[in-house]
Amino acid sequence: MKRGLLLTMVAMMASTTFAQSEKLSLKVSGRGYIDGTAVVQNDQEHMPSGASISDLRIGVSGSWEKWSAKIDIGYAKKSVSFKDVYLQYNFQKNSYARIGHYAEPLGIDYMESSGNIKFIDAGIVQQAFAPGRRLGIEYIGWNKGLWVGAGAFADANFAKQRTADQASDGYSITARVAYAPIHEPGKIFHVGVAGSYRVPTAGTYSTVEGGKYTTNDRTDSYGITTGTPIISTKLNTADVDHAKHNFRVGTELIAAVDRMALQGEYIYSNTKRTDKTTLGDFKSWGAYGQVAFLLLGKPYEYSSSWARMALPKPGSLELVARFAHVDLEDPEAGLGVHSFTTNKGETLMVGRMTNQFTVGLNYYYKPFLRFKLDYDNSHLRNMKSLNYITGRIQFFF
């Protein structure tokens, strides 16, 4: 925590020092999310209601001629985490290359800022399959209708030093292409495809004597939480041991007519295993569809620079709904129905398929202040549903 605060202070002092340069443009920014969740139906007995500041960030961004950079650090939940940290070279206004820590180009809502997505949580499909932020190098370019991005990334915590007893990091190569032949205000049609080839990080095991040794065995892990930042319990998990490599492919659709908008994605994942196991390859998939309607506000617009829906204008009131399904159940891979013991001592045979239905209301009050309210229903196969209401206040500076 002290190290993160020190880095922020240094960055802010640097912004003051170098702001004297006519060619250098610097900006300090920040944001915070205040969340509260009330569990309506608590049949699973281990999902508590509560409130917290789920995100608190301070960052500095700047540009000089064709160069730009950003440092964004999070301080929420008693820990310091690095968010977007990168150096970028701008070839033109619509193309650049960058190196650092940022989101891989797969999964619309994980590429988007969490403050701009339609729901409080990006949803179970993004949680299960979208890579999120990684250390890497990437190129992005676009014109009026076409967007392309591709990069190579390390599967690692870039702020942690390596030790001799740690295993080698994995890596990934990820790319996305999106095409929007229609992108006028109130008239939007967008299709896209993304793919990622991934090699998981090798494992590290402890010996009986207390030492450690590395191994080439790799595990490809998947996990889904409840959809509220207040409850971190995982509803659905899958750990694929003896993984050789993984390939994911996603398709996406965005459309809007006047003040109504649609968005959907389908992501398929296939993890190949080594010959050290007789278990089969692990195949899984997830899909969601969402609809949004502006009760107050102007027609939806499109953001060509990121190939996604633009943020509604201040004063807009938005009604949203989403249904999502994730299937992490593959009996041939040894990840089928499994036993689960409840707090009452009951043993249930639980599947690895999760459904999530969410409705929400968003009020974009000012550019620096937004309010969100979501109702979620999450259901894991053979388990009772979890129902909860989450509210959020978002503020920016």
Report which of 84, 117, 87 is spatially closest to residue 303, judged by C-alpha positions. 117
**Which domains does the chain possess?**
2-396 (2.40.160.10)
In angstroms, the CA 115 to CA 350 distance is 34
Residues in the chain: 397
Q: Using 50, 70 and 90 to split pLDDT, how confident is the model at 344? A: low
Contact 282, 272 (CB under 8 A): no
Q: Which amino acid is at 241?
A: D
For the residues 55-76, what does the mean pLDDT come to?
A: 93
**What is the reported pLDDT for 43?**
55
Q: pLDDT digit string (tens) for 124-146?
A: 999 999 999 999 999 999 998 99
Q: pLDDT digit string (tens) for 355-391?
A: 999 999 999 999 999 999 999 998 887 777 789 999 9
The residue to which tokens 């949203």 are assigned: 320
**What is the reported pLDDT for 348?**
63
The residue to which tokens 């190196």 are assigned: 99
Percent of the chain with pLDDT over 90: 61
Across 82-91, 171-180, 200-209, least confident range:
200-209
Cα radius of gyration (the chain) = 22
For the residues 75-98, what does the mean pLDDT come to?
A: 91
Q: What are the residues facing 58 on neighbouring strands? A: 30, 73
Residues 6+ apart with CB under 8 A from 17: none
For the cut 50, the answer to whether the pLDDT of residue 39 exceeds it is yes
Residues 6+ apart with CB under 8 A from 369: 393, 394, 395, 396
The H or E element spanning position 321 is strand 316-327
**What is the reported pLDDT for 88?**
97
Q: What ranges make up the beta strands (E) of 156-298?
A: 170-184, 187-199, 202-206, 212-218, 220-225, 234-240, 243-257, 260-273, 282-296
